[in-house]
Each structure stands twice: as C-alpha cells, then as structure tokens.
Structure 1
Amino acid sequence: MGNGLMVKCISIVLMAFGAVMSANASATQSSVPIFECRNCSDTQMQQAALNKPGYGVRIVYNLASGHIFKYKVYLEPGCMNGGEEPQAVASKSDGDAEAGTTSTCNQNPSREIEWMPIDTVMLAPFAAMVEVYNDSPALLATAKVEKPIGDVGRNPNEVFSNFDPYLVAYDRGTGPTFHTFLEAARNYFNTHSSLLNSDPSLAVWIYDVLAPLRNLQISIGQQPAVNLDMGTIMQDITIDFVGPDGSYVRVKFTRQPNSEEYEVEFVGAWNSMGVPLPTSQEVRTPGFHRQFRGPGGHEAANNMGDFLNRQGWGSYGPTPIGCRSYILSCIVEPRPMSMCRIDCEN
C-alpha cells in the first residue's frame, strides 16, 4: 500500500510539472511588448510587469521618472517536500519503512518575475522619448499638433501663395491643389531639417524614437533576439495645418511597424467653427447644404459663400442677419446657372 501511494503521488506531480512546462514553453516569444506605467514607482513598475498577462520578457517604462526596466515573467512549478523526491516515512512501531506514508506537495505553481538588464540599443530611443515628454507633454497626451499651413510650403498652382484649406478640400479627388498639398505634406514629414525647423519635438519623435525602434532587436535570453512590439508607443499623429482665417486641413501620419515606410492620409478640412469644407463633388450633389450656428455664423456662412462664388457659383437673394443659424445651399438645376444662397433658420 505504501508503494502504491507513493507511485500515485509521483504521477500527480509529473502531470502537474508537465502542465507547468507546457505553460512556460508557450511563452516562446515572437516580439517583446513595451508599455508605460504612468507615474509609477519602481516597485509599481515591477508589479505591472508581473501583472501583464502571459509569460516571457517585457519592458516597462515611466517617462516622468525617466526609468525603464526589463523583466522576464515565468511560471515556477510547485514542489513536494521543498522540491525533493517524495520520501517514505518509516513506521515508528516496527521500523518497517515499507509501511510508511508519503508527505504531500504543499506549494502551488506561481508566477515569478526576474529582472534583466535593459538592452543598450534601447537607451537612446528611450532618452528621446523622455526629451519629448519634458519638452512637449501635449504631443504625447493628445497625439495631435497644430501648425501654420505655410509650414508645408507654398502652393505651386497659385502665384506666391500658401495653400488654402478651402481650395485643398474643394479640389479633393478632382483638382491639382489637393494632390499637390498631399505631396507637400509627405515631404514635410520626409525631410528631417524642415520638420526640425517647424516642430523640434515632432522631429525627435519621428526620427529619434519611431525610426530606430522599428527594427530594434531585443534579447530574450537563450532564444534569438526578437522585434519590439510597439503597440503602446504613439505611432499615429494628427496634424492640423491651419490657415490665416482659422480654417484647417487635417492629415494623419502613421509609421508602419517594423518598416521604414509611413503613410500620410488626408482626414478632412473644416472652417474655424468646425463646419466641414465642401468638395466640388459635394456642392454638385442634390441636397448639399452647410449649417452655421451661434456667434460668427453669419460671417462664416458668407466666407464659404464667397469662396464658392470665386469657383464659379453664382449667388442669389440677400444674406439675412440676426439668425440663430444660417443654411448655405446650392442648386445646379433647373436654373441656367449653378447658384448658392444663404437662408435664415430661427
């Protein structure tokens, strides 16, 4: 009976140990996650690394303190008699060890954490992250920047003129100004010197943080080094290029992970009140209208109407005043001339 009990116990332990080995084997990594523990103490950063689901190597940082740590989380198997093989306990009555019993395991498998030295290739990009955090906290908090539209250069389709948000929006998909502006916006991000002159923090983030991190190899111990999983590091940045009257064109910069490629995408264009600027195709669509509410609505409606007039749209009817809101609408047919008007809504 004693031997039977001992064999059964060993079997249970081997099954449990196999499950632990399976869990640790599943921790084989294809990338190392990095994440922020905002305003954490060093102890809290270690606990955050331990609490992050899964196993393997992970990097945690705190920009406020300028600290960055690397840890390995693993599953420690349970033990029997402190990790020793189970032993038969002799009966004190007759000294017969064969009649003995076996002590049982009293420690469950547990998640453990081990400190690892941070890779030296990680130090310079992290120092750049801390620099941007100290110099431009709003950039990291909002992932958004506002810049004068003149920063992207002049519009070659107009004589000695910066890009006009109204014309960029109006030409979308049909005119030369839209495509020229988008190319100029790509060049704005693609030229380190021009970006540095326009926004030093943005230049540091793109060229000193995102660029070196994209192909960074992180050591995970015995296995080959792997890429950094940049899922929590800001890679999408919204830029509003603002005209003199407060109208603006919004583009989105996205750095492609583990690549030198990036995208600059047109998001939209609005006036200073947040009313979308129309495209030429929209204005020609039946039912087109724009509504302007609140103070400044009269001037904003007239500004958009004047722009459409310069694009060849006629106008009819007097512009009302003292309205709660103003409605700008355009008619293509049946009138002989395409026309727009502003109506009052109270």
Structure 2
Amino acid sequence: MIFLVLFLVLLGIFLKISDSSLNLWFWSRVSRRTEADHYRGKVVWIVGASSGIGEDIALRLSRFSSLLILSARRTELLETVAKKCRDANSSCQVKILPLDMVDFPNLERKTREADEIFGRKVDIVVLNAGRSQRAEWTDIDPSVDAECFQINAIGPTQVARTILKNRGLHPTGDKLDNLQFIVISSVAGLLPAILSPSYAAAKAALMQYFRLLALEMGEKGVKVSIICPSHVYAPNMLKSAFTSSPGTEHGEVISAPRAAQMAPERAAELISLAAVNEIYECVIASTPSVLASIYFFANFPGVFARIINIIGAQRLRKIRSAHE
C-alpha cells in the first residue's frame, strides 16, 4: 500500500510538472545527445512546413545550420517561412520544393528532387502535413472520410514508401541507409476525439503504418519517431478543418492562445528533442489531464469509457471547444 501511495504521489507530481510523456521527459534530461550534433550538416526535408507546427519546426532546426527543404502546396507561404529561417541564421541553407502529398503520380519525381536538391540524399524527413476536422459522427459524408484519410494517413505514408523504393530499400533486401522519419501524429490517434471521427481514425492509421515501418525496416538503418501533440496554438488550424460535408471548411480562426494550448515554439522544441533521442513514440501536452487520460485509456479502456459516459458527450464538446 505504501508503494502504491508513493507511486501515485510521484505520478501526480510528474503530470503536474511535465509537458510530455515520461520517455521524452526522461531522455531529454539525461541524454548527452544535442540538437546541434544531430542536425548539423544534415539534409532535413519538412513536409507541411508552410504554417503551424511545421513552420516552427523549420525555425527551430534553422538554428543548427541544417540544410532545409520546405514543402507544402502554397509556395508563397513557404517563401515567407524560408526568409524567417535565413533571418534566424544566415548560415542556414533553405530550399523550397512545392509538394502535394496526394498527387501520387508525381511523388516519385518529387522525392527524387528532394534527394538531389542539395547534391546529396535527405537524412531526415519530417512528415507534418495534415488537416483537422470538426463534425458529428453520424453526419459525415463518406467522401470526407476518404479525403481525410488521403491527407492525414495515406499521403505521408506514400511519401515515405516512395523514398524507400527510390533508394532500393526493402525489408528483405541487403541495402542499408541512415534515414530518419519524424512523424507528427496527434493525441487524437490515441484517444477518442469527439467532433473529429475521420481525423482521429486517420491519425490512428498513420501511427500503425509507421509503427510497422519501424518494425520492418529498423535493422536496415531506418529510424522512426512518432510524436503525438495535444492542443498546440495555431491560428488557422481550424480554419481549413474538414466538416461533415465535402468541399466545406470549418472556417474558425483562433485569434489568441487558449489556456490548454501549448506554445508552438515549445512544441517544436519537444518534437526536435524526440527526434534527437530517437524516441519511438511519445506524447506532448501542456495539460496534465491529457497525459493522464492517455495512460489511463491505454491500460483501462473500459473504465475510461464509463467515465466518459458519466461526463457526457455534450460537456466534452464544450470542453474541447474551450481548449481549442
């Protein structure tokens, strides 16, 4: 009983002081690996770099004189991010490679361009592109499910698959490569996320794709770090979010950070540290309730479901809206 009480006290203290899961919290403090050593001189390709977390990851990595490739569909936004990176560190080299992840026929050409743009192969690929959702479960048109999966799960997976094929890497082959994928998923892939059925399912699928990639290709030198952020401040995150109907967007602009939202700069730092320490999978969240819910749901899903039913779906909708 004493040990149980002590464990619960220590767990409570950890949840209060931490903004990440235990593995990242621990290794970011005891590891001797540094961001400068990990990124210096490496080619880093950030897919989904035009805004939000992707932009802040680019700015974070620009400190370490990385050779950055920035990709997204909107070239004008990428130009703005590239300028910010160069202003932050004049020695940082930045190239822009426009990319539509779901334009599958052109992915082979685009991934080859990425491997040639600096005259050497990409060392690290950050797969950050995605699109959120606000919709009721029963209202969603099947075409929305399909498009959401294309953007949030199949697109990033196909980018990685195409890179591996271009390099002749295969689980049963002899070829080795020192390649790292940093996959930005979401806590929605770990917890039932009310008002985001298609998005949550797609993020769960994304995680399974890359869990299997890590399993099958780890001995070939391919490393995978899956990071699941909770609420991170991004003004336009909900503006382009899927709804229940095809061709429509949620439209909400978040004018100021809300209490439960992590600063994007801090999110980028934690994502970077997870990659540096080659964390297989981790969560970042500024609120203790999210971290506690993930641990609890993973071990006691039935009890968690009963608690959620007691809280009630209507109240959860209000809570989520207040957080985001």
Whether these two folds match at TM > 0.5 is: no
Q: Return the index of the structure with the highest Cα Rg.
A: 1
More strand by share: 1
Higher relative contact order (CA 8 A, sep 6+): 2
Structure 1 length as normaliser, TM-score?
Answer: 0.27
Structure 2 length as normaliser, TM-score?
Answer: 0.28
